[in-house]
Structure 1
Amino acid sequence: MQLSHKRHTLIRSKINALIGKYLDGKATPEEEQLLTHWLDALAEDAPPATGQDPRSREQLRRSILKVIKQRAGHPATMYPIWKKMAAAAAVLLLVGIGSWWMMNHRPSQKIAWLELRTAIGEKKMLLLPDSSRIWLGANAVLKYPDHFTDTRQVQLVSGEAFFDIAPAPGQPFSVTTDSLQVQVLGTSFHIRAYPRQLLEIGVSTGKVSVNKGGQVMGILTANQLLQVNRNNYTFSQLSVSSPDINGWKQDKIVFDNMPVMDALLLLENYYPVKFHVKRAIDRQISGSLNMHLTIAQIINVLEDLTDHQLKITPAGAGNYTIDQ
């Protein structure tokens, strides 16, 4: 006997409700009997699953039954009503999750982790298997898998990168850097994680969550920036403009109230220079630099941004000494 589509849909809805009552221990004897009858009817009416042999179907039924019993907190003993519920669950879900089951039960392909590096002053763009794109900044290291599974994850070992993530509902994307994890679904954002500098996570579009050890440090939306101190992992959340977040992608180095010491360290990643500071500099600077400027021009701009309170002297072979 073939059930009409409307009647089939109604039965599914009622069975779902009765299964819920049964798992909560609230079903009456009459409802249990009705549930048994409907389960039998659905089992008889089930169409064969395309591309699955009887052994595969039975294995799927057992997997579904195991999940049902685990969620319900029932013991492992399989009573008749449970057998019928497992069969009905297989009938209701076989077509919908059959392809999922076959995919997740086939021999898994081993993931190979790849590494992308950039030199001082170099930038690269990476296209991931899911069509997401990553722009890697100067003197940076990124690790990524050759293919994704049910999750998408990459690691920014050091440096900075801008991420433009392709949406994939049910397949979250995350970036680990230092001991932090940045989780997204579909968005564009920037991470700066150079050694000896503040960690920065800035969002251009969408929303990201920044976590450490399972604890949420911040939820960021467009034009918000999270700065994290690597020494004690104290952090602050700021509002910034989009160019501040992805300026380097447009060949601009942006200083937004940045400590001079951090600015110097950042410049060392974009130019083959080393700054030797005689005394700690306790001040911030704001402004932007075009990456196409020569190092001599950069030095002049730095002096202007600090009101000429810094004395920057060439020391040979790309070295500069800085005094106040």
Structure 2
Amino acid sequence: EPVDFLGNQDNVYKKIRSSSFPVRKLWYNIAKIAAVFLFILTLGSLFYYFHKTNHFFPEEFESVELLEKGRVVLPDGRIAEFETEQTRIQQSVSGNLTINSDTLKVDETKKGSEKISLTHVIVPYGKRSEIILTDGTKIWLNSGSQLSYPVKFTGNTREVYLSGEAFFYVESDPSKPFHVITADMKIRATGTRFNVTSYANDNQSQVVLLSGKVDAAKNKRFAGSMEMNPGERIVYSKTEENLKKDRVDVEHYASWIDGYLIFENEPVENIFKILERYYNKNILTEKLTGKPAFTGKLDLADDLGKVLNNIGFSASFSVECENDTFIIRP
């Protein structure tokens, strides 16, 4: 009987096609999964890129509340200490750094590196410093704060890094904007006066403008900025991760450089935190009735006991001192 080779060839071809279909379907599913994974990976990378901190922030050397003396860490690693409550630090164009009456020669680069390094001023609780930079900008650094800056400003900007609180009187130079960078915010100015508060253990950071113009943004890549006019404040919420602007009495935020504090209906718990930093003393609070607040002016030349008693007279609490710790009782 003759063999139908053509018919057998068609049957074989159909069997091969039917047997290869599951394999092709498997590879198709694998390709789909890979494409979805690649999309998620790309999306995550973009999210990280756009939300990543735009400018690096120098690490704090150690917890400032544990320090008894102020420190200046030079670019070459040398450390100079100071014990004065009010310390004046001036950086000269020639590279000399003067701390009160002592002058040090500063090398701009670390040994074996051409990269320009930073000088770090660390002010512990109970002390404050006035810093004058090479461009003439004056900075008042409050208790429990760290400022990092280059010996000389190069390039098209002037950048400093702040953790804590500082008042800035920026020397005008429209061609070279002045940037204050904190862990949360980036503030840009040309010549102006403003106060920045950005303590690591606070729930918010803020900038208050006294004169001139600045703009502020989150310290993230491509973050939009908000312009400020004198008398305005921008607050960054660490929990909500957003910026809000309002009008304030600027004297309440800058008076500390003149030796006094002004509050208006401020919760006493917030005031105690400020006073602990300023006086380097512990304040323990027993359970107070309600949420007491204080309105008034405090003279920081007074001892802490007198300051707390002035608040207690208004907010209805008593003050006791035991083993150099102040205890607040109803």
Alignment CA distance shift 1:216-1:315 (3 Å): farther
Match of 2:301 among 292, 305, 321: 292
Q: Which residue of 2 aligns with 1:207?
A: 213
Of 152, 160, 164, which residue of structure 2 is paired with 1:147?
Answer: 152
1:192 equivalent in alignment to 2:197: yes
User: Structure 1: how far apart are the matches of 2:206 and 2:266?
Assistant: 12
State how far apart, in whole Å, the 1-side matches of 2:128 and 2:196 are. 14
Question: Within 5 Å, which residues of 2 pair with 1:27-176?
Answer: 110-150=115-155, 151-157=157-163, 159-176=164-181
SS at match of 1:215: coil
Q: Please give the TM-score of this superposition, normalised by the length of structure 2.
A: 0.59
Over the matched positions of the two proteins, sequence identity in percent amounts to 23
Contact residue 258 and residue 285 of structure 1 kept, 8 A: yes
**One-letter amino acid matched to 2:238:** R
Given that 2:267 and 2:294 are in contact with CA atoms closer than 8 Å, whether structure 1 keeps it comes out as yes
> Which residue is 1:54 aligned to?
none
Determine which structure has greater relative contact order: mean sequence separation of CA pairs < 8 Å that are 6+ residues apart, divided by chain length. Answer: 2
Determine the C-alpha separation between the residues in 2 that align with 1:313 and 1:196. Answer: 26
For residues 312-323 of structure 1, what are the structure 2 equivalents within 5 Å? 312-317=319-324, 319-323=325-329
Partner Cα distance (1:137, 1:176) in 2: 16
8 A Cα contact 1:203 1:245, kept in partner: no
TM-score, L = length of structure 1 = 0.60
* Stretch deviating more after TM superposition (183-192 or 223-232): 223-232
Q: Which runs of 5+ in 1 are unaligned?
A: 1-107
Q: CA deviation at 1:177?
A: 1.2
Distance 1:186-1:277 versus aligned 2 partners, 3 A rule: same
Partner of 1:241: 249
CA distance in 2, matches of 1:216, 1:256: 31
Name the CA distance, whole Å, in 2 between partners of 1:284 and 1:228.
Answer: 23
| Whole-angstrom distance in 2 between the partners of 1:187 and 1:256 | 25
Q: Is the contact made by 1:138 and 1:269 (CA closer than 8 Å) also made in structure 2?
A: yes
- Select 1:276's aligned residue among 278, 284, 303: 284
Contact 1:174 1:182 in 2 (8 A): yes
Question: CA 1:155 to 1:233, structure 2 compared with 1: closer, same or farther past 3 Å?
Answer: same
- Partner Cα separation in structure 2 for residue 209 and residue 315 of structure 1: 46
Q: Distance in 1 between matches of 2:255 and 2:225?
A: 25
The separation in 2 between residues aligned to 1:175 and 1:243, in whole angstroms, is 21
How far the C-alpha of 1:283 sits from its partner, in A, is 4.3
What displacement does 1:220 show?
A: 1.6
Higher percent of residues as helix? 1
- Describe the SS at the equivalent of 1:125: strand
Alpha-carbon spacing, 1:322–1:130, altered in 2? closer, same or farther (3 Å): same
For residues 194 and 155 of structure 1, what CA distance do their matches in structure 2 show?
A: 12
| Structure 1 counterpart of 2:183, from 172, 178, 181 | 178
